[in-house]
Amino acid sequence: MGNPTGFLNINRNLPEDRDPVLRVGDWKEVHTEMAVSDIQSQASRCMDCGVPFCMAAESAQGPGIAGCPVNNLIPEWNDLVYRGLWKDALARLLKTNNFPEFTGRVCPAPCESSCVLGINAPPVSIKHHEVSIIDRGFEMGWVTPNIPEERTGKTVAVIGSGPAGLACAAQLNSAGHTVTVYERADRPGGLLMYGIPNMKLEKHVVERRIKLMEDEGITFVCNTTIGKDIAADKLKEDFDTVVICTGATVPRDLPVEGRELKGVNFAMEFLGANTKSLMDSELEDGNYISANKKHVVVIGGGDTGTDCVGTSLRHGCEHVQQLEIMPQPTNSRTAGNPWPQYARVLKVDYGQEEAIAIQGDDPRSYLVTTKKFVGDEDGNVKELHTCQIEWQKQDDGRMTPVDVPGSEKVIKADLVLLAMGFLGPEGGVLDQLGVEKDPRSNAQAEYGKYATNVDGVFAAGDARRGQSLIVWAINEGRGAAQAVDAYLMGKSYLPR
């Protein structure tokens, strides 16, 4: 704790975001940089708590408990940043997190919700320190390929190149195993590449990490769907072990009247095609769903919904609004959401901030359900019929949405984007390999062990736990790597 009064004397501060009206004219990240001296000053707010809740998340605690799932050594590298020992801070950060350049940009920072200072003051800006350390590390040339001194002769196939697959591959490669990562898209990265838009995570950041992993000896095979281009059984024959990291990519649908109309799309169809077209041709090829001059309605209130709002505004939509079936969060913690749980409070993310600046008001409406879509004579969606709902507790304790009489409303819509989350992994690979599933259709594998019912086949990330955070995917990728290493070698010295 380099500055024992930092948390008393220094207020929380973050770099300013770019002007929302101007930034919708490009696809660059919305954040600006902060002076190094200011970052060091912010790091001095860390109290080096006797019990650092910020780094102590455990899966067994349940999803409500905050803290860092990869157990980042947060107080240690905060102190090193404050002292100006950036290279040492980088070394401490990389001990627990393979990809801080990703988590430092897109993780919702559960660590900050459990910061002890956050009990009665704004928490330490942990997430910004994390990305500052790794970005400085790349800038200074400190991040170099970690090439194993010798190879074990063991081979591993990782299916899926999202954060879980990448973390698993990186750890297993560092142990000397020969790793091949299979990706069905034309570029590696999974949702890091095609699910998160550039204004949150510019793709050169992902490509830089992929190149580093290739230099370390990892092989990426793209445009290859396991179960179609390569039989899953063949993969098991050719490799000593197989790790399923395909993610939970089955989107939650909205099976109401008019769902088949043109212009009603899943969010990932919209976001993925946009990023690919942007990378292929700066949107010149037209191979994407355009929101230009359209009235856009986004159904769903999470990060994906926000990304749809921000992307629609950059297309030049006529108007965008966002419908959420849940109640509006409160401005501060409620009695039922105490520290150190993840703070369920109202946030204005970049997409809403841009909509407010351009349209004049927050695009979100709460406690709204869509009853049907209505189309024109050509089969194109033209409007939504909605109504307000209220949540009522039933006799069995379940909360159920109930329509509010007289609250019906018709909303003009030329483009509807369904951003209501994901149900689980696609079944092809699991079915072909004979992997048992849990009641939610995820691969059945115990947390911490990651082994499926099929010998030599492991599962990690969203494919095992269901839709979750990028930082939990990294946690599981690292844990699965340790389990695979122990399976191959009899014991493992890899950290989780």
Mean pLDDT in residue range 19-47: 96
pLDDT band at 61 (very low <50, low <70, confident <90, very high): low
Query: Does the CA dihedral 210-214-216-217 come out positive or negative?
Result: positive
Which CATH architecture describes the domain 254-420? 3-Layer(bba) Sandwich (3.50)
pLDDT band at 1 (very low <50, low <70, confident <90, very high): low
Which residues, in sequence order, are bridge partners of residue 219?
Answer: 180
Q: What is the CA radius of gyration of the chain?
A: 23
User: Pick the residue with more confidence: 75 or 427?
Assistant: 75
Residue 118, pLDDT score: 94
Q: Which CATH superfamily is domain 155-249+423-489 in?
A: FAD/NAD(P)-binding domain (3.50.50.60)
Asked if omega into 439 is within 30° of 0 (cis), the reply is no
CATH of 6-139, one of 3.30.200.20, 1.10.1060.10, 1.10.260.40, 3.30.530.20: 1.10.1060.10
Q: What are phi and psi of 39, to 5 degrees?
A: -65, -45
Ordered DSSP codes for 353-405: HHHHHHHSS--EEESEEEEEEEE-TTSBEEEEEEEEEEEEE-TTS-EEEEE-T
Q: What tokens appear for 374 in the block?
A: 């209505």
Checking if the pLDDT of 422 tops 70, the result is yes
User: Do 262 and 379 meet the contact criterion of CB atoms below 8 Å apart?
Assistant: yes
Residue 496, pLDDT score: 80
Tens-place pLDDT, residues 40-50: 999 999 999 98
Query: Does the CA dihedral 166-167-171-177 come out positive or negative?
Result: negative
441 Cα distance to chain centroid: 20
User: Do 464 and 145 meet the contact criterion of CB atoms below 8 Å apart?
Assistant: no
Domains of the chain: which residue ranges? 6-139, 155-249+423-489, 254-420
The domains spanning 155-249+423-489 and 254-420 adopt the same CATH topology = yes
User: Do 176 and 254 meet the contact criterion of CB atoms below 8 Å apart?
Assistant: no
Residues 6+ apart with CB under 8 A from 54: 67, 68, 72, 74, 75, 111, 112, 114, 115, 116, 124, 126
State how far the Cα of 236 lies from the Cα of 484, in Å rounded to an integer: 14
Query: Does the CA dihedral 300-305-309-314 come out positive or negative?
Result: negative
Residue 67, pLDDT score: 92
Mean pLDDT in residue range 200-206: 98
State how far the Cα of 124 lies from the Cα of 13, in Å rounded to an integer: 9
Residues 6+ apart with CB under 8 A from 195: 268, 271, 272, 304
User: Pick the residue with more confidence: 66 or 45?
Assistant: 45
DSSP 145: -
pLDDT band at 62 (very low <50, low <70, confident <90, very high): low
Tens-place pLDDT, residues 113-146: 999 999 999 999 999 999 999 999 999 999 999 9
Tens-place pLDDT, residues 430-444: 999 999 999 999 999
User: Do 267 and 252 meet the contact criterion of CB atoms below 8 Å apart?
Assistant: no
To the nearest whole percent, how much of the chain has pLDDT over 70?
A: 98
Checking if the pLDDT of 59 tops 70, the result is no
User: Do 248 and 462 meet the contact criterion of CB atoms below 8 Å apart?
Assistant: yes
Pick from 196, 148, 208, 155: which is nearest to 176 by CA? 148
Residue 149, pLDDT score: 94
User: Do 23 and 37 meet the contact criterion of CB atoms below 8 Å apart?
Assistant: no
pLDDT band at 427 (very low <50, low <70, confident <90, very high): confident
- Mean pLDDT of all residues in the chain? 95
Mean pLDDT in residue range 236-262: 97
SS3 percent helix, strand, coil of the chain, rounded to 5, is: 35, 20, 45
Map tokens 């650092």 to a residue.
52
Q: How many residues would you count in the chain?
A: 496
Q: What tokens appear for 192 in the block?
A: 């890091």
Map tokens 């949540």 to a residue.
391
Q: Edge-to-edge strands of the sheet including 155-159?
A: 219-221, 178-182, 155-159, 241-244, 457-459
Tens-place pLDDT, residues 459-492: 999 999 999 999 999 999 999 999 999 999 999 9
User: Do 237 and 226 meet the contact criterion of CB atoms below 8 Å apart?
Assistant: no
pLDDT band at 231 (very low <50, low <70, confident <90, very high): very high
Long-range own/partner contacts, residues 271-276 (CB < 8 A, 24 or more apart): 271/194, 271/195, 271/196, 271/197, 271/304, 271/307, 271/308, 271/311, 272/194, 272/195, 274/197, 274/311, 275/193, 275/194, 275/197, 275/198, 275/203, 276/186, 276/194
State how far the Cα of 288 lies from the Cα of 277, in Å rounded to an integer: 6
3-state SS string over 413-441?
CCEEEECCCEEECCHHHHHHHCCCECCCC
Q: What are phi and psi of 297, to 5 degrees?
A: -120, 120
